[in-house]
Amino acid sequence: MIFSFEKAFQAGVSHINSMVSPEGYTYFDVFRTSPAEAVMDWPDFVDLPARYLEAAVMLRPFGSCPCEKNLRDWLWKHIAEDGLAYRPDSPISRPDAELFDQSRLLYTLVSCLQKTPGDAVVEKALRGLCDGLIKISTRDGDISYISQIGVYYGGTLIRPLAQAGFLLREKRYLVFARRLAKGILSSEEYFGADGSFKGHVHGHMATVAGFIVLALHDQDDAMLKRAVGIFDYAKSISTQHGFVPELAQREDALVACETCALMDYLDVALLLARYVDAGMWSLVEKATRNHLARSQVGDTSWLDCNDAAENEEGILRRNLNSSLVGSFAGWSAPHALLAYEEVFWPEWVRTEEMKPRYMNKVRAIQNCCAGGGLRALHQVWSNVVTKEGGGLNVNLLFSKETKDVRVESALPADAHVKITLKKPAAFLRVRIPDRCRVDSLALSLNGEPCHSTKIVHGFIEMHSPAAGDVIELSLELLTEVETFSLSNPGHQSYQFEADWLGETVTEIRTDPGNPTSGYSRILKAPVLVFYGMDAPGMMYGHVPPPAFTESPPAPAMDDGIIDWYSLDALR
């Protein structure tokens, strides 16, 4: 089977179009009830609609989302005079400009303005939000924070604030982002000297991506070194096929990957790959081809969906079999879409009357990960081919088309990559994947064997290809069996075995001795865990996710307008 960004994005468009209400709200919770339900919750006032809107704008080349307008109307309804977005005073939410909501909205406004530079409404909202955040912050010398110093209290704002500063050419947004970063790095509470951290990986990795952008912009080697050390720790608690835990150092027996955590982990890896360490490209390709691609929901047989069930205000039951296709796992195991059965704790629900809607229902998906997974794919897709000076780098061996080049790859089914130049280039560099016999690499130019190449930093390099040239790379991929285990420190562990072919995992097997229940600290009781071969939503050896196909469609054109990585944009 071949991975295709185009198929994954098309499934994403279909999911977005079927999971946004006419009012413009989304459905954070998917419960494993009978029948399965998607239920609106407090993240659906700002956080999720922002993610869905950003994904819809990013995915425009793959299909239109008429619900973009509904999402915009809904979001703007929640933006107040002070520029911040507020949840309403409602049975499921308190009136609050919650900071994670503000960071999601910032990302979205930046991407929307990149896509449509003249959009005065978006620009006004973006400036209003940046200015509003500065206004509610406290300054203490060269540090700033909102309410208190912390990853939550400003960390996740750094990356989109910096990007807003570049886009709007507003230095003061960069200065504010730098002060937030300095505050967090000056505290010993959040990141250990050895790079370790505890808690929400999504938030911590987003913060580190912000550190790296600022470090690159300011040429601050000390901050860059600190960020690399933190990422090394994140790598140490993740697998090479892209399983990134939702929580670092969770104090119980449950361990799952949140797709949003993988998104920010990839954001960090992409920034490092582009500007610090080309060795990171292989990490990106492995995580994308494997856990990210396979975390997209294709088969809903692990849920009891009833397409004829009735909907209610704020609850979707009808047609979930198709609506959930294209969303992403919220708590995956390394080999399956759901790692364990957890339900909400009583404090989740604000009023007694709303408890029946949320309590005692097994949480199957957290739908922040739908927007997160699609953004993660877009981040990678936008970096498959990059320009450097007058040359081109093919960093990742996926199919992709830009105005300069067309790359066609059917890896790993066919270990062969075809690159057609649409314009002349000073050089063409193509990354050699991991687990590939370098002495058997064969390169041809317009059908003739090509020997005038060299290998530099893991890339095969060719000078001065002309417009119309066709370069073909034949590879011999190697197989490897990898064993790995997962656990939280001091708690029971789970063992796995993965078959690799080049940078693709073809199968994951679980150890028959893996525990089938584990203690949940949140519920203060053991729950069912799914680290066996009968887990819900098996990712391998089963119905393939939407991104996989026998014959990939033609690569779609990337106009490069939504760009969170170009160094030109950083200056």
Cα torsion 310, 314, 317, 320: sign: positive
Shortest separation between residue 498's beta carbon and Zn ion, angstroms: 24
Backbone φ/ψ region at 260: left (φ over 0), alpha (ψ -120 to 50), beta: alpha
Shortest separation between residue 178's beta carbon and Zn ion, angstroms: 28
Answer for the pair 537, 32: CB distance below 8 angstroms, yes or no.
Answer: no
Of the two residues 372 and 536, which places its CB atom closer to Zn ion in the complex?
372
Of the two residues 155 and 372, which places its CB atom closer to Zn ion in the complex?
372
Q: What SS3 state is found at 54?
A: helix
Window of 138-146, 259-267, 395-403, 553-561 that interacts with Zn ion by CB under 5 A = 259-267
- By CB under 5 A, the residues from 63 to 92 that bind Zn ion are none
Helices (H) and strands (E) in the chain, counts: 16, 26
Residue with smallest beta-carbon separation from Zn ion: 260
Shortest separation between residue 106's beta carbon and Zn ion, angstroms: 17
Window of 15-23, 251-259, 343-351, 483-491 that interacts with Zn ion by CB under 5 A = 251-259
Strand 427-431 to 391-394 pairing:
parallel
Give the span between the Cα atoms of 87 and 100, in whole angstroms.
12
Shortest separation between residue 329's beta carbon and Zn ion, angstroms: 9
List the one residue from 180, 205, 208, 369 that touches Zn ion (CB under 5 A).
369
Residue 372 found at the interface with Zn ion (CB under 5 A):
yes
Amino acid in position 27: Y
Window of 108-116, 372-380, 476-484, 530-538 that interacts with Zn ion by CB under 5 A = 372-380
The mark string for 324-363 relative to Zn ion (x by CB under 5 A, - otherwise) is ----------------------------------------
Bridge-partner residues for 38, per DSSP?
30, 316
Of the two residues 297 and 392, which places its CB atom closer to Zn ion in the complex?
297
Q: What is the CA radius of gyration of the chain?
A: 23
Window of 4-12, 73-81, 212-220, 253-261 that interacts with Zn ion by CB under 5 A = 253-261
Window of 85-93, 160-168, 369-377, 386-394 that interacts with Zn ion by CB under 5 A = 369-377
Please report where in the chains the tokens 């459905």 appear, as a residue: 27
Answer for the pair 260, 202: CB distance below 8 angstroms, yes or no.
Answer: yes
Answer for the pair 311, 21: CB distance below 8 angstroms, yes or no.
Answer: no
Nearest to 80 by CA among 94, 95, 67, 68: 95
Residue 368 found at the interface with Zn ion (CB under 5 A):
yes
Torsion angle in degrees (nearest 10) through CA of 398, 299, 40, 6: 20
Residue 260 found at the interface with Zn ion (CB under 5 A):
yes
Window of 151-159, 223-231, 366-374, 454-462 that interacts with Zn ion by CB under 5 A = 366-374
Strand 470-474 to 479-486 pairing:
unpaired
Residue 19 found at the interface with Zn ion (CB under 5 A):
no
Of the two residues 44 and 258, which places its CB atom closer to Zn ion in the complex?
258
Consecutive H or E run containing 131: helix 120-136
Give the span between the Cα atoms of 424 and 391, in whole angstroms.
9
Of the two residues 19 and 260, which places its CB atom closer to Zn ion in the complex?
260
Question: Interface with Zn ion by CB under 5 A: which residues?
Answer: 258, 260, 368-369, 372
